[in-house]
Amino acid sequence: MKNSGKIITKDLNLFIGKQHILKNVNIVVPDNKITVILGPSGCGKTTLLKSMNRLTDLYPEMVLSGQILIDDKDILKAGAEVPEIRRKMGLLSQRPYPLPMSIYKNIAYGLKINGVSNHKELDDKVEYYLRLANLWDEVKDRLREPASTLSIGQQQRLCLARGLAVDPEIILADEPTSALDPLSSNAIEKQFVKLKSSYTIVVVTHILRQARRIADHIIFMYLGEVIEQGSANKFFNYPEMDKTREYLKGAFN
Amino acid sequence: MKYFRYKEEKIFRVLMLVSTLFIVLALAIIIFSILYKGLPMLSWEMISQTPKGGFYLGKEGGILNAIIGSFYLSVCSTLLALFVSLPLALFMNIYLKRYKFVLNTVRFFLDLLWGVPSIVYGAFGFIIMIHFGLRASLLAGIITVTLFIIPIMVRAMDEVFKTVPVGLYEASLSLGSTRSETAYRVFLRQCYPGIITAVLLAFGRGIGDAASVLFTTGFTDHIPVSLMQPTATLPLAIFFQLGAPIAEVQERAYAAAAILTFFILIISILARLSSGKFQRNKINF
Ligand SMILES: Nc1ncnc2c1ncn2[C@@H]1O[C@H](COP(=O)(O)OP(=O)(O)OP(=O)(O)O)[C@@H](O)[C@H]1O
Ligand SMILES: [Mg+2]
């Protein structure tokens, strides 16, 4: 393993008009760990996550500067292959957005656009990833049904499976459990812990308890700035900054 | 205060009821009067024969020429318009989304074009025809009607694509889709029912319009066998029959109107049936 980390940002700044949203963000996201981005609402967590797979391109008002290195390659450089960069990062959003097609096709979609066309192979992979996301048993008899008929918790796991199916190296999850009931949240959290040996996982959350449960590495943000980052153990037990201590005491909630 | 708010609610309910009733009633009266006057005149002869000499003076024959003419004209124009409108509407909502000013300008001009009366398109088509030395023909009519329904179709589709949530767009992109894959594999599925509505709207305007085809398509008693021949259309057939000085011919106009209405009804039902599967797959956000 490189000592440098899977995702590294260098002096990342993001403006929306005159508003300074991300301020000199320098972070290191380690490989094969769960990194949790913590921080109060509006501090720029989602924006940071979106800049990592260049979904910020969709918002012309956002002006980025600095570097985002993924495997030591700067993805903000012109000429970067954006679809390929995005494929390497599965995105799980705050609420699930299944594709408007059947459960089966939701998984097969990403496989197909990435060149898998053999039916047997598709069937096998669909089953494999549905199992990986812990959804197979619930949907195996209704694969041809529209994904819209699933419950929200099932939809979120479908989105996880769909994201995993394109063989990413990184999973970016933006408050992936905020629309879910405690049981489904639990299922997703367990999934992350199970998956972390093969992926780099970045989870945005503002639930401290969730961070304590799953985090190996913490990035704490406040008003667009990274206040503190480091191992979860150190962060929760020996925080360095006053802001962190206040936050851990629940001062911002 | 509380009392007033309940009262307000009641007033709005009544208003809604009244306007719904008004629309349903208006539609019912229109359809009823067309059927009431038209059905007695509707005969097999009417839909299976072309006009014989003196048809417009009450002699024998039917309006098969106009039925077939309208069919060719509207189907061809709708398909042509679809080929232009669908990519344009997708382009606006996927590639132009970033450029708000350009996008709004395009929308503004499309809205202007939507508002231009069809007779103006007819006049424009006429100028083009003369420029290229064309006679009034099926082709000139198709071109004119296509131009006339494109803004309608594009804007109607545009409104549908606008409802696709950014999250779905982002989800598709983050799977590694390109923007065109997102357009054709995700947006189209999500919006299929709405696209059908847009196509029907444009089709209905195209088949029912008389002014745009008046100069461009011309009128004839024969069934067209080439794009270069003048062609009869239902709206003009109705117009000419209504303008005839003979009561019986005028009543036949209502039969023609009934045929036109029936035509639109069938197409609408077929289109609706085709969107059922997509309706089920559509994600409701
Ligand atoms: N498209 C946009 N246009 C204008 N301002 C934006 C836009 N997107 C985000 N912002 C602003 O950027 C700041 C950071 O937003 P962001 O969504 O990243 O916060 P967050 O940390 O994810 O908050 P939450 O926990 O509530 O999701 C906020 O002040 C927000 O208002
Ligand atoms: Mg957020």
Find the CB nearest B174 among A53, A95, A102. A53
| pLDDT of A35 higher than 90 | yes
Question: pLDDT per residue over A108-157, tens digit each?
Answer: 999 999 888 899 999 999 999 999 888 999 999 999 999 999 998 899 99
Question: pLDDT per residue over B29-45, tens digit each?
Answer: 998 998 898 888 888 88
| pLDDT of B118 higher than 50 | yes
Please, are residues B190 and A69 in contact by the beta-carbon 8 Å criterion? Answer: no
Q: Is A7 helix (H, G, I), strand (E, B) or coil?
A: strand
Residues of chain A with pLDDT > 90, as a percent, come to 66
Q: How many Cβ atoms from other residues are within 10 Å of residue A238's Cβ?
A: 10
Find the CB nearest A97 among B168, B177, B178. B168
Residues of chain B with pLDDT > 90, as a percent, come to 58
pLDDT for B272 equals: 81
Q: How far apart are CA B201 and CA B220, in angstroms?
A: 27
pLDDT for A253 equals: 56
Question: pLDDT per residue over A67-80, tens digit each?
Answer: 999 988 899 987 88
A245 Cα–ligand 1 center, Å: 24
- Interchain proximity B283–A83, CB inside 8 Å: no
Closest CA relative to residue A45, chosen from A195, A173, A170: A173
The average pLDDT across B202-209 equals: 92
pLDDT for A52 equals: 93
Q: How far apart are CA A241 and CA A235, in angstroms?
A: 10
pLDDT for A243 equals: 86
pLDDT for B185 equals: 93
pLDDT for B24 equals: 96
pLDDT for B1 equals: 65
Q: How far apart are CA A44 and CA A39, in angstroms?
A: 8
pLDDT for B192 equals: 92
Domain B42-281 bears CATH identifier 1.10.3720.10:
yes
Give the chain A residue nearest B95 (alpha carbons).
Answer: A58
- ipTM value: 0.89
Q: How far apart are CA B56 and CA B249, in angstroms?
A: 6
B126 Cα–ligand 2 center, Å: 57
Residue B63 C-beta-side C-alpha neighbours within 13 Å: 30
Please, are residues A229 and A39 in contact by the beta-carbon 8 Å criterion? Answer: no
Question: pLDDT per residue over A146-199, tens digit each?
Answer: 999 999 889 999 999 999 999 899 999 999 888 888 888 888 899 899 999 999
The DSSP call for residue B245 is S
pLDDT for A252 equals: 66
pLDDT for A1 equals: 42
Average pLDDT of chain A to the nearest whole number = 90
Q: Which residues contact B178 (CB under 8 A, 6 or more apart)?
A: A83
- Do strands A62-70 and A73-74 pair parallel, antiparallel, or not at all (unpaired)? antiparallel
Domains of chain A (ranges; CATH) run 1-84+213-253 (3.40.50.300)
pLDDT for A251 equals: 62
Q: Is A1 helix (H, G, I), strand (E, B) or coil?
A: coil
Q: How many Cβ atoms from other residues are within 10 Å of residue A90's Cβ?
A: 29
Question: pLDDT per residue over B14-27, tens digit each?
Answer: 999 999 999 999 99
What residues in B contact A98, CB-CB < 8 Å? Answer: 283
What residues in A contact B177, CB-CB < 8 Å? Answer: 83, 110, 113
A190 Cα–ligand 1 center, Å: 28
- Interchain proximity B173–A86, CB inside 8 Å: yes
A245 to chain B, closest Cα gap in Å: 34
